[in-house]
Amino acid sequence: MTKAGTRPGRRSRPGRGLSLDRIVTATLELVDEQGIGAATMRAVSSRLDVRSMSLYRYVRDRDELFDAVVERIVNELATDPAVQLRPVDGWRPYLTDMAHGVRRYARAHPHAFPLVATRPPTAPWVNPPLRSLRWVEAMLTGLAAEGFSDEQVLFTYRTFNSFLLGALLLETSAMTLRIPERHE
């Protein structure tokens, strides 16, 4: 046997270098192109040129894979230069910039956005579209630092998420209807 457990004269197996990151990337690309229904384990593995069973080393099932896709999408906020983790110039610009950032990721992934809205959250009080404990905690802490009472923080968090989620579901649904070749 040689390095990496291959026999001399044999090619390495396809999928070498497979990682959760590559799997999530391929899944999100597939969803963006063809819709959620197209993202089967078989289709993802085919896109990666690996056997379907190879994916199960990284995720238990399709649900866990979709959870990872949601995490990837929501984490796009962290790389959005217009979105601050906490208020810097007051709570109004903070919430406005946050809403615009969430809208950008929703519009970038209109076929995947329903996953953000419907996947079970990591904690029962985490509401979409933020979906991330990091972002929710930052919002709650930031609003409190801006002088909001506990009641006002909770009301603002719920109102912000509910309004934004509803508006973005309508907008992304309309987007997917205008792109008939990308339906489920």
Provide the percentage of residues in the chain whose pLDDT is more than 70.
88
Query: Is the predicted pLDDT of residue 5 greater than 60, yes or no?
Result: no
With cut-offs at 50, 70 and 90, classify the pLDDT of residue 83: very high
Other CB atoms within 10 A of residue 32 CB: 15
Asked if residues 77 and 83 have their Cβ atoms less than 8 Å apart, the reply is yes
Q: What is the pLDDT of residue 127?
A: 86
Query: Is the predicted pLDDT of residue 179 greater than 70, yes or no?
Result: no
Mean pLDDT of all residues in 32-41 = 95
Query: Is the predicted pLDDT of residue 181 greater than 70, yes or no?
Result: no
Residues in CB range of 41: below 8 A, 6 or more apart: 52, 55, 56, 61, 62, 65
Q: What is the pLDDT of residue 182?
A: 47
> Which pair of tokens denotes residue 129?
């579209």
Mean pLDDT of all residues in 91-105 = 97
With cut-offs at 50, 70 and 90, classify the pLDDT of residue 16: low
Q: What is the pLDDT of residue 1?
A: 40
With cut-offs at 50, 70 and 90, classify the pLDDT of residue 108: very high
